[in-house]
Structure 1
């Protein structure tokens, strides 16, 4: 049996887009949105511990040192890098990090002031076309990088993947029976270009599997 030291974090998740990497993450202050609320209330935020675990050797890497008032997001795999968002509430700064899976070097892919972010709600990095996005007040979907876009979506929609100019959302309904739909929107206009029952999953080799 291989023993992996994950600093007390007892749950691993696969990194989307690769079969070689897993991650472990602490949520002592909740997610980024909850941490943002704590900091705005004048309370100190416990820093996020993010660990990247390579398969099959089990080597553990901590790409960013855990610091007070700093939150890190879940990673995705893109072009050989494990990419994730980081918010430093004390420095009022948002970064997109890229950890090279081969040479294990960390780079800052993008940096912006926190006051340019509408809200930290669902703020995260997504692949395949790498993108930093979140949801602002109401039902506004916000793209912050690599371009700036904003448009309205349904309350039940959740964004999960981008490929070129196609944005993939999953939506759920209870009318009265529960069902799910896959919604594809155009990145330039936000308009729906496809809407089909079912869902889509991104496999470790990058393939898209439609289920429905």
Structure 2
């Protein structure tokens, strides 16, 4: 049986891990970092974040579309959805807690100069606001401030308890001269666990994968 939501936009509905009832869509593919580019070009038309209820077919929109306002992808944690709103007109980044038809709370607000918009996102349980990149390293802005450098091919995937989980992709057996893989070629990931000071606790071969119910698995 094919069903229809009560609002049709032709957008792809993405899964939100940790629950099965709601999906989401974004009205375009811009991200928070793109606000800077658009500001230099005269401003951004604004984006829409929508939530889709697979139980009753309703579509929910926490905010109407507004010029120079953009949204990060939502996550599900502690029985709520969380998402970031970037408002270049107000020069603010705001973390919202949301549940359709019941809750829309501003949890934390930052001046836009307080955060690096590059790879700015929400991860972890409870939620953490982070940014990361080879040059700037890893930075956490909420609920505590954490920072340490990253090596090449490293990225932070998860924060749980007092441990920060990174993945590092490794490529071995590549023939640079002929630009091809040798018979011994391998491509795999390592999981590196660090504390909040950037000290390495452990390192092992593995890749972190989140299942539909929110559990994390090492493969």
Note closer, same or farther for the CA distance 1:182–1:2 as it changes in structure 2 (3 Å cut): same
Note closer, same or farther for the CA distance 1:116–1:139 as it changes in structure 2 (3 Å cut): closer
Q: CA deviation at 1:5?
A: 5.4
- Aligned-partner Cα distance in 1 for 2:58–2:205: 40
Match of 1:157 among 140, 145, 154: 154
Structure having the higher Rg? 2
Does the alignment pair 1:27 with 2:28?
yes
Q: CA deviation at 1:7?
A: 5.4
Note closer, same or farther for the CA distance 1:114–1:180 as it changes in structure 2 (3 Å cut): same
**Deviating 4+ runs (over 3 angstroms):** none
Does the alignment pair 1:105 with 2:103?
yes
Paired position in structure 2 for 1:198: 206
Q: CA deviation at 1:67?
A: 1.0
- Aligned-partner Cα distance in 2 for 1:198–1:137: 21
Paired position in structure 2 for 1:13: 14
Q: CA deviation at 1:114?
A: 0.7
Contact preservation (8 Å) 2:78, 2:126: no
**Backbone CA RMSD of aligned residues:** 2.0
- Aligned-partner Cα distance in 1 for 2:4–2:49: 18
Contact preservation (8 Å) 1:77, 1:127: no
- Aligned-partner Cα distance in 2 for 1:160–1:9: 31
Note closer, same or farther for the CA distance 1:18–1:94 as it changes in structure 2 (3 Å cut): same
Deviation larger for 103-112 or 198-207: 198-207
Q: CA deviation at 1:42?
A: 4.1
1:4-63 Cα deviation digits (max 9, x unpaired): 2565352121112222221111225x2221232221x24211312111112332321111
Contact preservation (8 Å) 1:9, 1:26: no
Does the alignment pair 1:114 with 2:122?
no
- Aligned-partner Cα distance in 2 for 1:137–1:115: 20
Match of 2:197 among 160, 176, 189: 189
Contact preservation (8 Å) 1:69, 1:89: yes
Question: How high is the TM-score relative to the length of structure 1?
Answer: 0.88
